[in-house]
Structure 1
Amino acid sequence: MIPRALAALALALGLAACARNDLDEPPMPLGDFVLGHNIAVAENVQMVPISRPATPEEWEGAIQKAVDARFGYHRYPGTRIFNIGISVDAYALAPPGIPVVAAPKSVLVVTANIWDDGAGARLNDEGHQITVFEGLSGETVIGTGLTRSKAQQMEALSFNAVRKVEEWLLENPEWFGMTKAELQAALDARAKAMAVPEVVVEVGAEVAAEGGSEAGVPTDVPAGEDAN
């Protein structure tokens, strides 16, 4: 597993991915989901040169924090328990002090698994490997070792990795007792609920020209003053 992770990481170093913080939005539909065990393991993690060093404990804490932020009870207060396990396979954290032209990117490789706690069974046949970057912005083009601390880099990478775990779960709605059609309907309803309706206010030209009002609303109240 680790050699494959290192190979994936090496191939990914020339690419970039873009992510936004979506945790203030309604959670994705995962049926009656509630998070049980939040497992992160990094005892066999490998650091790819050139990189800032990070301990297994630091990676485990960062991943668990990201999993709780996305899948915790505050977002999914269901009754059907699922356990999520993520192993941290390999990483590179862009260090400071590297010339801009050669500044490396920060990358993380993880492998995810999910269990149905009630059934006592793992739902995926084999671990799902994910490779992510911090993001794509002015600072990540030149390498974030110049602009972010190690903790900030790890937080961004963990956020992106767990978001990719969420995308993977949505590819398998049957795990959560949903058909693909039911999932799509739930996604459509979510998108509709998030949409901001366009408000159109029409005022008759003749009313506006005369300085009058429409529907009894005065038009001559100075800005910042109460109509009463």
Structure 2
Amino acid sequence: MIARIAVLCLGALLVAACQRNDLADPPADLGDFALGLNIVVADHAQKVPISREASVEEWEAVMKKAIDDRFGRYEGTKLYNLGISVDGYALAPPGIPVVVAPKSVVAITANIWDDAAGRKLNETGEKMTVFESLTGGSIVGSGYTMSKDEQMEALAYNAAKRVEGWLLGHPEWFGLPPRPPEPRAARASDK
């Protein structure tokens, strides 16, 4: 039994060592994108009952910082405004390590506006559910290994990265040519 726990802990440490923060890398190509307004609201966020408590102000501050950190790196020639709504969250409380290791999650809705044109680029808000990254701490349970603030920062980082991925999927919004369609996988009927 002790050997199994030791192997799990070693594996957790290796996974944690593989995690990296990509904000020091050059940003992906978003054409003429430059961050204009960074609007975050959390006044209607629903907390999952088992979650640690977090205030509206805490969610708005941590998410706004994550958006600034990720999108403030872009130096395009045109301003785009981002609006993020924090819709719900669960911040993992301490559980029984390995057996019951609750995961932290945040649900958001993202919108983007062309500042100069004064129009929204996406028809409906882009809903995203973002989980904590797999780390050594999340295997044991981030409620044991991370403070509430650390959990929120990790979720906000992941949420901002997901928003970036969503924007990268719409290059036409930023003066770039549309991405070519993905080649479809060969099906048995095509052979």
Q: Distance in 2 between matches of 1:132 and 1:20?
A: 17
The equivalent of 2:118 in structure 1 is: 120
The answer to whether the 8 A contact 1:106-1:143 is kept is no
The equivalent of 1:148 in structure 2 is: 146
One-letter identity of the residue aligned with 2:161: R
The equivalent of 1:63 in structure 2 is: 63
Q: Distance in 2 between matches of 1:44 and 1:118?
A: 29
Alignment of 1:1-228 (within 5 A): 20-72=20-72, 75-96=73-94, 98-100=95-97, 101-180=99-178
The answer to whether the 8 A contact 1:132-1:157 is kept is yes
Specify the SS of the correspondent of 2:22: coil
Give, in angstroms, the shift of residue 132 of structure 1: 1.1
Deviations 1:131-176 (A, max 9, x none): 1111112211221010001100000000001100000001100000
The answer to whether the 8 A contact 1:62-1:158 is kept is yes
Structure 1: 4+ residue segments shifted above 3 A: none
The answer to whether the 8 A contact 1:90-1:109 is kept is yes
The answer to whether the 8 A contact 1:106-1:134 is kept is yes
The answer to whether the 8 A contact 1:50-1:104 is kept is no
Q: Distance in 2 between matches of 1:33 and 1:141?
A: 37
Deviates more, 1:167-176 or 1:26-35: 26-35
Q: Return 5+ residue gaps in structure 2 as ranges.
A: 1-17, 181-191
Give, in angstroms, the shift of residue 19 of structure 1: 6.5
Higher-Rg structure is 1
Q: Percent of counterpart pairs with the same letter?
A: 59
Specify the SS of the correspondent of 1:102: coil
Specify the SS of the correspondent of 2:24: coil
Give, in angstroms, the shift of residue 32 of structure 1: 1.6
Q: Distance in 2 between matches of 1:19 and 1:89?
A: 27
Give, in angstroms, the shift of residue 181 of structure 1: 5.1
Q: Distance in 1 between matches of 2:96 and 2:165?
A: 35
One-letter identity of the residue aligned with 1:35: L
Q: Distance in 2 between matches of 1:86 and 1:61?
A: 12
One-letter identity of the residue aligned with 1:127: G
Deviations 1:161-200 (A, max 9, x none): 1100000001100000111359xxxxxxxxxxxxxxxxxx
The answer to whether the 8 A contact 2:171-2:179 is kept is no
What TM-score results when the alignment is normalised by the length of structure 2? 0.81
What TM-score results when the alignment is normalised by the length of structure 1? 0.68
Give, in angstroms, the shift of residue 130 of structure 1: 0.8
The answer to whether the 8 A contact 1:19-1:160 is kept is no
Specify the SS of the correspondent of 2:38: strand
RMSD of equivalent CA atoms: 1.5
The equivalent of 1:207 in structure 2 is: none
One-letter identity of the residue aligned with 2:88: A
Specify the SS of the correspondent of 1:61: helix
